[in-house]
Amino acid sequence: MDKLKTLEEALAPVKDGMTIMIGGFGGNGSPHQLIEGLIKKGVKDLTVICNDPGTPNFGNGRLIHEKREKKLIASFISSNKECQEQHKNGELEVELIPQGTLSEACRAGGAGLGGVLTKTGLGTLVEEGKQKVVVNGQTYLLQEPLRADVALIYAKTADRMGNLIYHGSSRTHTPMMAMAADYVIVEAAEVVEVGELNPDYIHTQAIFVDAVVKKEV
């Protein structure tokens, strides 16, 4: 099995108006070359699910700077003034989900689960529009699963069939997003032959990955 593709081949199925998950935290661990590829390709009106909007013109902030997003689902946006301004001007819709809930919503979306029950957000504005569920006398909020058409993720190492190893603190929501999208593209700093990775240390398994793009140095 060989999923190694050029950037253009890998991004071919991405279209205007799609929902796209992007890995990374403040731009760290984001697939920067895939993001540049999207911009170059010209896709727009995207709904993006990402931990945050990166920083101005960096990470997910590149897509915001280029005004390619109509909606952002994130846990905070305070890291990017451009994003805050676009939200204030009504150019960008923003939905905030607590960070841990966001991760589990992606996991539920990828794991075939009907949602997540969490106490996070009880007694706050997060309750609005959410169903409450009582289990053994304890009240939880129901977070529905999140899914996307495409996930763009970054890994330090991939083999050609898409087994992935992350490095350091760059993992964040990426493994959950890899499970929750119909089409998953990984940008990998290093691509090795099938068989070279130790099966004990695979973080995301090839079954979740559709295309591998080698990061250009």
Partner 1 sequence: MELNKEQAQKLIALRVADELVPGTFNNLGVGLPTMIAGLVPNEKDIWFQGENGVIGVGNSAFDIINQTNAQASDKAVDPDIIDSSGFTNTVTEGASFFDSSVSFSMIRGGHIHTAVLGTMEVAENGDIANYMVPGRALAGMGGAMDLCSGVQRVIVATLHSNNGKPKMLERCTLPLTAAGVVKIVVTELGVFDVKDGHFVVREYNPNYTFEQIQEVTGAKLVFPENCQPMAAHYFEEAVK
Chain positions contacting partner 1, by CB under 8 A: 25-30, 32, 51-52, 54-55, 57-59, 74-78, 81, 84-85, 87-88, 94, 96, 98-104, 107, 118-126, 154, 156, 166-176, 189, 203
User: Is residue 129 exposed (0-12), middle (13-18) or buried (19+ Cβ within 10 Å)?
Assistant: exposed
Cβ of residue 125: shortest distance to partner 1, in angstroms? Answer: 5
- State which residue, 13 or 100, has the beta carbon closest to partner 1: 100
The answer to whether the Cα torsion of 14, 73, 215, 190 is positive or negative is: negative
Q: Hey, what are 73's tokens? A: 């689902």
CB of 167 to partner 1, least distance (A): 5
Q: How far is the CB of 175 from partner 1 (least distance, A)?
A: 5
CB-nearer residue toward partner 1: 76 or 183:
76
Angstrom distance (rounded) from CA 158 to CA 155 = 7
Phi, psi of 43 (to 5 degrees): -70, 150
Pairing mode of beta strands 19-22, 148-159: parallel
To the nearest whole angstrom, how small is the minimum distance from the Cβ of residue 18 to partner 1? 23
Is residue 169 a contact partner of residue 28, using CB atoms and an 8 Å limit? yes
Q: For 122, left (φ over 0), alpha (ψ -120 to 50), or beta? A: beta
We find the least distance from the C-beta atom of residue 98 to partner 1, in angstroms, to be: 4
The residue (of 29 and 115) whose beta carbon lies closer to partner 1 is: 29
Distance CA 120, CA 37 (A): 36
Pick 120 or 205: Cβ nearer partner 1: 120
Of 77 and 186, the one with the shorter C-beta distance to partner 1 is 77
| Shorter beta-carbon distance to partner 1: residue 5 or 75 | 75
Q: How far apart are CA 196 and CA 125, in angstroms?
A: 49
Shortest Cβ distance from residue 114 to partner 1 (Å)? 17
DSSP 77: -
